[in-house]
Amino acid sequence: MNIEQFRSSLEEKGISLSDFQLEQFETYYEWLSEWNEKINLTSITEKKEVYLKHFYDSITTSFYVDFNTFSSLCDVGAGAGFPSLPIKICFPHLHVTIVDSLNKRIHFLNQLSQALKLENTHFYHDRAETFGRLKDKRESFDIVTARAVARLSVLSELCLPLVKKNGLFVALKAASADQEIEVGKKAIKALGGRIENVHSFQLPIEESERSIIIVKKQTETPKKYPRKPGTPNKSPIED
């Protein structure tokens, strides 16, 4: 996907990017490419692939979630900033928080945010299990996102404790998620959520499968969740 295809494809979805926003994406690509030689941020490095599989793919979330109606977003395990920073570029009013367990990535994101001139972005070197127990973070975000971090039953325990009541947990998956959803229903319910929608589609050009799972937070998450670091992955609530 070249830059013009990127711009026009988003335009078709009602997202009009200014010259400044397009420049931000160009700068994003340049920084990602440069820093990827120092630390492992992504295996996708070709420019057209980055624009399609990272930038556009991240922004597809906004085709199903109206970010104009929300003000705060937390991205769990964002790695090189996906999906939250492409979303932030398109919807600059959002206050974005990223939590990631690798300090090298957090350092990159801090530097990148300054280069992109992003305001109201905050980066935390922490595990989601401990971050979700902080009094000022727990149940404080309108939307919590996660992209290809773990299976849904595990992700739910990492993300739903951070979502405020009536907020959304949005999981981006690289393929059909039917089995994950079936297995993850128990965890989602136990953590106070309910699956509101599942959107399956294909990325343009290469036509690879994608799924976006939208979970609404209905009740407060029980205080015992999230459990200690590592426990959700070793012993998911599905068991």
Q: Would you call 116 exposed, middle or buried from its count of C-beta atoms within 10 A (0-12, 13-18, 19+)?
A: buried
The response to whether 67 counts as a known ligand-binding position is no
Q: Which residues contact 159 (CB under 8 A, 6 or more apart)?
A: 76, 128, 144, 145, 146, 169, 171
Residues 95, 120 contacting (CB under 8 angstroms): yes
Query: Coil, strand, or helix at residue 69?
Result: helix
Task: Please give the DSSP secondary-structure letter assigned to residue 98.
Answer: E
d(CA 40, CA 36): 5
Other beta carbons within 10 Å of 142: 19
Strands 193-202 and 209-217: antiparallel
Residues 167, 144 contacting (CB under 8 angstroms): yes
d(CA 231, CA 217): 22
Task: Please give the DSSP secondary-structure letter assigned to residue 52.
Answer: I
The response to whether 230 counts as a known ligand-binding position is no
Nearest to 236 by CA among 160, 167, 150, 163: 150
The response to whether 77 counts as a known ligand-binding position is yes
The response to whether 82 counts as a known ligand-binding position is yes
H/E run at residue 172: strand 163-173
Residues annotated in the binding site for S-adenosyl-L-methionine, as ranges?
A: 77, 82, 128-129, 147
Residues annotated in the binding site, as ranges?
A: 77, 82, 128-129, 147
